[in-house]
Amino acid sequence: MSSTIQELQAPFMQGKKPARFKGVELAALLFFAACMALPVLFLLVGSFNTMPPGKEPSYGIGNWIRAFSDPLTLNALWTSFLLSVVRLIPSMTLAVTISWLIARTDMPGGRTVEFLCWIAFFVPEFPLTLAWILLLDPQFGLLNTLAASLFGIQRPFDPYSFWGIVWVHLGSGGVWFQIMMLVPLFRRMGATLEEASRVSGASTFTTLWRVTFPVLSPMIFAIAILCFIRGLESFNVELLLGTPVGIYVYGTRIYDYLRQEPPAYGEATALGSVFLLVLAALALVYRAYFQSNKKFTVVTGQGYSTNLVKLGKWKYVALGCIATWFTVMMLLPLVFLVLGSFMRRYGFFNLSQPFTWAHWQNLFSDPIFFGSLGNSLIIAVATSVLGVLLYSSIGYLLASRRPMRSRPMLEFLAWLPWVVPGILMSLGLLWIFLATPLRSVLYGTVWGIIVALVIQDSPVSTQAFKSAFMQLGPDLEEAARVAGASWRYAYFRILLPIIAPVAVTVGMLNFGTSLSSISTPVLLYNAESRPLSILLLEYSQSGELERAAALGLLITAMICVMVLMGRRFGFKVTQAGTR
C-alpha cells in the first residue's frame, strides 16, 4: 500500500511541481526584499543625501552633523531609551505575574481575565491618553481637584511629565500585549520539572523562582526585547503629553523635523538611521544571549500541567488585585473618555451645565469627518484582506516541509518591520515615494498608507499563519494531491478553510491597528487621504479636546465592535470546520 502511494505521489515530487513551487518562493523573496528591506536601504542611503527627495542627490555627512549637533536630538535619543527601560521593568513584572496566575494556578476567572486583556489591547492608546488628561491635568484634572479639596494637596499628579508618560503607558497596550504573548508560553511548558520540584519538597515560590522562570527565561527575555523595541517606537503618548513641556523622544523629534518649513528630511533620516543601528545591536545582544543559554531549551510537548498551583484563600486576593488594576488602568479612563466627549469644556466639571451634545453634533456635521471615515474604512478593510491573502501564503511557505534555501532570509525579512518602528518605516517609504516614479501613485494616497500598514503587519500575521500551518499534518495535502488536486486547489479548498479562525483573528488584528495607527501614516497622508486617526491627532493638537474625545470614543467603539464580531464569526467558523 505504501509503495502504491509513493508511486502516485511521484509526479508531484518530481518534474514541474517543484519548479512552480520555487517560482512562488522566488516571488515571495523578491516581494519581501522590495517591501521590507528597500525602505530600510533608502533610509540609510538617504541619511547621506543632503538634497530633498526628488532632487538630484548630493552625498555627504552634513545631515549627520546638523542632526547630532542639536542638543535636542541627543536628549530625545536618551529619553527614548530611558522611558522604554523604566516602563519595561514594572510592565514585565506585572505581565509575568498575571500570566502565571492565569495559566498555572487555580485562580478563578482566568479565561475571563485573559479575554479582557485581549479587549484592552485593542483599545487605542491615544483616546486613553485624552482620558488621563481629564483625570490628571494640573489645571482641571479631576483627581487633582479632589486631592486639593479633600486633603489640601495641590497638584500631586501631572501627566505632562516623565513619570506621567510612564504611568499612561502602563495602562495602555504594553502590559496587555505582554500577557497575550506570555500566557501561551506558560500553558505549553512541560509539567515534568515543576512536578519533580514539588515532589522534592520545594515550596510554590521556590519552584516558581528556581524552575519555572529559569526554564522560560529565554522566551521571557525575547518578549522583553520585543517590548523594549515597541517602547522605543512609541509615538502617540509622547506626542500628546511630552511635546507641550519639551519632552521629546526620537519619534516626535523626527516628526518635528519633517513638519518644520522647509522640512529637514536629511536630519530626520540621519536620526532614524542611527536608531536602526542601535536596534541591530540589540538583536545581536539577544542572539548572543540565546546561543550562550542553550541549556534552557527544556520545554517539551509532553503535555500541559494538570496539577495547577493551589493558591488557597490567596486566589481571591489575586483575582481582586487584577480586577482592581484593570478597573483603574482601563475602565476608569474609558468612563472619563465618555464623559469628556459630552463636556461643554474639557475638564470643567464645575460649570452650571457641564454636559452637552454639541461636540458630537459638530463632529457628525463636519465634512472632513466623513471623508476621513471613508478613508479609514477603505484602509482598514484593504489592509485586512491583503494581509490575510499575502501572509497566509508566506506562512504556508515558511511552514512547508520542503527544503527551502531562502527560508532563513524569508524569516528575517518577515520579522524586519518589527524592529523598524512605524515612523521609521513611514520615513523610508516616504523616500521611496518621493524619489521614484511612485510619487504620483502612492504619496499622499490611501494606497500608500495601505502599503505601509500591510508591511507593518508582517511579523504578527506571518508568524500566526506559520504556526497554524505547522499544526496541520502533511497527510491532508498529500491526500489531495494523490486524488489529483493541484497545489492551488488543495491550498484554497482544504488548507485555508481549516485555518479560517486564524485568518479571522489576523484580519481582526490588522483592522484594529489600521484604524488606530498614527505613527505609520503620519508622514504619508494629505488632506484627501487623511484617516480618522490623523484627524484625531489634528483635533488634539489644535486644542479641540472635546471633539477629539468624541472621535477617540468612536474609534474605540468601532474597534471593540469589530473584535466582538470577529470573535463570534471565528467561533462559528471553528464550529463549522469541526463538523
The torsion region of residue 543 among left (phi > 0), alpha (psi -120 to 50) and beta comes to left
Task: Looking at the structure, tell me whether residues 30 and 78 fall in a common domain.
Answer: no
Q: Are 141 and 133 in contact (CB under 8 A)?
A: yes
Which phi and psi (to 5°) does residue 309 adopt?
-65, 130
The tens digit of pLDDT for each residue in 463-513 reads: 778 877 776 666 666 676 667 666 666 767 777 777 777 788 788 888 888
The CATH number of the domain holding residue 203 is 1.10.3720.10
Predicted confidence at residue 382, as pLDDT, reads 93
Residue range 73-100: mean pLDDT, rounded: 88
**DSSP state, residue 59:** B
The torsion region of residue 403 among left (phi > 0), alpha (psi -120 to 50) and beta comes to beta
How far apart are the C-alpha atoms of 514 and 383, rounded to whole Å? Answer: 7
How far apart are the C-alpha atoms of 258 and 34, rounded to whole Å? Answer: 24
pTM of the model: 0.77
Q: Which grid coordinates belong to 561?
A: 465592535
Q: How many CA atoms lie within 13 A of 538 on its CB side?
A: 14
Q: Cβ contacts of residue 296 below 8 Å, gap of 6+? A: 214, 215, 217, 218
How far apart are the C-alpha atoms of 225 and 70, rounded to whole Å? Answer: 29
Domain count, the chain: 2
Between the two ends of the chain, the Cα-to-Cα distance in Å is: 29
Q: Which grid coordinates belong to 176?
A: 496587555
Task: Looking at the structure, tell me whether residues 385 and 503 fall in a common domain.
Answer: yes
Give percent of the chain above pLDDT 90. Answer: 9
How far apart are the C-alpha atoms of 383 and 520, rounded to whole Å? Answer: 13
Q: Are 482 and 410 in contact (CB under 8 A)?
A: no
Last residue of a domain, one of 321, 346, 377: 321
Nearest to 173 by CA among 235, 100, 101: 235
Cα 69–Cα 70–Cα 71 angle in degrees, nearest 5? 110
The tens digit of pLDDT for each residue in 255-271 reads: 888 787 777 877 888 88
Q: Are 551 and 539 in contact (CB under 8 A)?
A: yes
Task: Looking at the structure, tell me whether residues 192 and 147 fall in a common domain.
Answer: yes
The CB density around residue 246, as the number of other CB atoms within 10 Å, is: 9
Q: Does any domain span residue 54?
A: no
Q: Are 577 and 501 in contact (CB under 8 A)?
A: yes
The tens digit of pLDDT for each residue in 138-166 reads: 888 888 888 888 887 888 888 999 999 99
Task: Looking at the structure, tell me whether residues 146 and 41 fall in a common domain.
Answer: no
Last residue of a domain, one of 294, 321, 348: 321
Q: Does any domain span residue 327?
A: no
Helices (H), 247-366: 250-259, 265-291, 314-326, 332-341, 358-365
The tens digit of pLDDT for each residue in 281-311 reads: 776 666 566 555 544 444 444 444 456 777 8
Residue-number span of the structural domain to which 485 is assigned: 8-46+361-579
